[in-house]
Amino acid sequence: MSNPFEATCDMERDPSTGPRSDTPRRGVALCLSGGGYRAALFHLGALSRLNELGVLSKVDTLSCVSGGSILGAYLARLIADGYAPVNGVYPDWWAKVVEGFLPVVKHNIRTGPVLSQAKFWKKGAGPEALADHYESITKGMKLSELPERPNLIFCATNLVFGNSWVSCRRRVGDYISGYVSPPPAGWTVAKAVAASSCFPPAFLPLPTGIPAAAYRKYDGTPPDDDLNSWRESIGLSDGGVYDNLGLEPVWKSHGMVLVSDGGAPMQPKAPWGPATLLRYSSVLTNQIGAVRKRWLIDIYERNNQEQPDTFGGTYWGVESATRRYNANANYGYSKKLSKFTIASVRTDLDPFTPNECWVLLKHGYELADIAVRTHEPRIMAKDPPRRTWSPALLDEAKVSEALRDSGKRRYLFSRSSSGNDNLVK
pLDDT tens for each residue of 51-67: 999 999 999 999 999 99
Q: Which residues of the chain are under the pLDDT cut of 70?
A: 1-22, 120-121, 306, 308, 412-419
* Whole-number pLDDT of residue 277: 75
Residue 32: strand pairing partners: 64, 260
Which pLDDT value is given to residue 19? 62
Amino acid letter, 387: R
Measured CA distances, 187 to 49, 125, 154, 291 (Å): 32, 15, 12, 33
| Cβ-contact 51, 213 below 8 angstroms | no
Q: Look at residue 223 in the predicted model and tell me its pLDDT.
A: 92
Specify the pTM.
Answer: 0.94
Contact (Cβ atoms closer than 8 angstroms) between residue 60 and residue 254: yes
Nearest C-alpha neighbor of 130 from the set 156, 101, 94? 156
The pLDDT value recorded for residue 120 is 64
Phi-psi group of 209: left, alpha or beta (phi > 0 → left; psi -120 to 50 → alpha; rest → beta): left
- Within 10 angstroms of residue 213's Cβ, the number of other Cβ atoms is 10
Report yes or no: 62 and 30 within 8 Å, Cβ to Cβ: yes
pLDDT of residue 284: 80
Contacts of 177 (CB under 8 A, 6+ apart): 158, 160, 161, 165, 215, 227, 231, 234
Rg (CA), the chain: 20
Local structure of 382: helix, strand or coil: coil
Q: Could you give the 3-state DSSP secondary structure of residue 258?
A: strand
Predicted confidence at residue 195, as pLDDT, reads: 97
